A and B are shown apart, each in its own frame.
Chain A
C-alpha cells in the first residue's frame, strides 16, 4: 500500500471518487482531536470538507489541484523500499544482525519515510512509541523538518 501510493507516514488519507479517480491526494488528517495537542492538526477542518464532498454539498480538489498537491515517488525512495523489503525478509528469516545495515541504508535513502523508519522499529527491537521513536523525531524536527506535512487546501 505504501509503495503503491507513495505513503511516507501515517495517518495518510486519500479521497477516491465514484470512478476510481484520486480526488484528493495523500494528505494528513485525523478522525478525532485526541492527538491535536501533539500533532497540531485540527481534525474538524478535514472532516467538514469530507462530509460536504460525500453529501455532494462541497467540492473535491480539481485534477489540476490534485496533481499540484501530489509528491511523486523518487528513485531514492524506491531504493529505500527495496532495502526495506530485503531487510524485512532477512528479519523474518532470523538474520537480525544482517538485516540491520539494510534498515539503516533504507533510512539514509529516505529519512523522511517514517513508514520505514518507524515501521521497522518493532522488528528491530526498538520502541516505536517511546524513546527510540522520540529520538529520531527530535533529530528530524531539530534539522528543520516537519513530521507531518499536510497539503495546503485550496480555499
Chain B
C-alpha cells in the first residue's frame, strides 16, 4: 500500500509517495526536482558531472531505490520506518572537499529582527566567524 515518506535533506523536507516504506524508492520523475540529479545512461548526472551507478540495482518498478541512490552519492541515509521518515545527510567527501578548497562555504542566517544575512555579503571585509550556543 502506498504511503507518504518524509525525506529530510539539504535543510528541507519533501513528501514522497512510496510503495514500500521498508525499502523506499523515489519516483524517477522526482529525482531532479528533489535532489538535483538526473538519471542518464552514463549514471547519475548533475550538469556535466556524472557518477556511475549500478542501474539494475537502482531502478525498480516503483522508482529509484533510495538506499542505492544514497550509496552512489556517498551520502548517509537513516530511516525511521514507524514514522516513514528518512534523513539523507551530506557526503563527507563533498563537505571535506569544500572545506579543503579553503573557499568558505556560504550560508544565510537571520538576525534577531529576522533580516537575512549571507556570508557572501561580507566579501571585501575580513570576517571573524564565531559559533556559540546558549544551550
Residues of A within 8 A of B (CB): 1-7, 10-23, 25, 31, 50, 53-54, 63, 66-67, 70, 72-75, 77-79, 81-83, 85-86, 89-90, 93, 95, 98, 102, 105, 115, 118-119, 121-122, 128-129
Most buried by A among B6, B8, B76, B105: B76
Do the beta carbons of B83 and A14 come within 8 Å of each other? no
User: Which residue on B lies nearest to A12, using beta carbons?
Assistant: B131
A4–B105 CA distance with the chains assembled, in angstroms: 7
A75–B122 CA distance with the chains assembled, in angstroms: 31
Do the beta carbons of B105 and A50 come within 8 Å of each other? no
With a cutoff of 8 Å between Cβ atoms, the chain A residues found around residue B120 in the complex are: 20
Majority secondary structure of chain B interface residues (helix, strand, loop or mixed): mixed
Residues of B within 8 A of A (CB): 6, 8, 13, 75-80, 82-83, 85-92, 95-96, 98-100, 102-107, 109, 119-120, 122-133, 135
Do the beta carbons of B129 and A13 come within 8 Å of each other? yes
Besides A3-B89, A17-B126, 12 new A-B residue pairs in contact (Cβ under 8 A), listed by A number: A1-B131, A3-B90, A5-B131, A12-B131, A13-B128, A20-B123, A22-B104, A23-B126, A66-B102, A74-B92, A90-B83, A98-B80
User: Which residue on B lies nearest to A2, using beta carbons?
Assistant: B131
Do A90 and B85 contact each other (CB < 8 Å), given the known contacts A7-B131, A20-B103, A78-B92? yes
Give me 5 A-to-B residue pairs in the complex whose CB atoms sit less than 8 angstroms apart, sorted by A's number.
A3-B90, A12-B131, A31-B130, A89-B8, A98-B80
Q: Which 6 A-B pairs have the closest CB atoms?
A: A82-B89, A72-B96, A128-B135, A86-B87, A79-B76, A16-B127
Do the beta carbons of B128 and A15 come within 8 Å of each other? yes
With a cutoff of 8 Å between Cβ atoms, the chain A residues found around residue B125 in the complex are: 18
Do the beta carbons of A6 and B95 come within 8 Å of each other? yes
With a cutoff of 8 Å between Cβ atoms, the chain B residues found around residue A77 in the complex are: 92
User: Which residue on B lies nearest to A81, using beta carbons?
Assistant: B89
Q: Which of B6, B95, B109, B133 contacts A78 (CB 8 A)?
A: B95
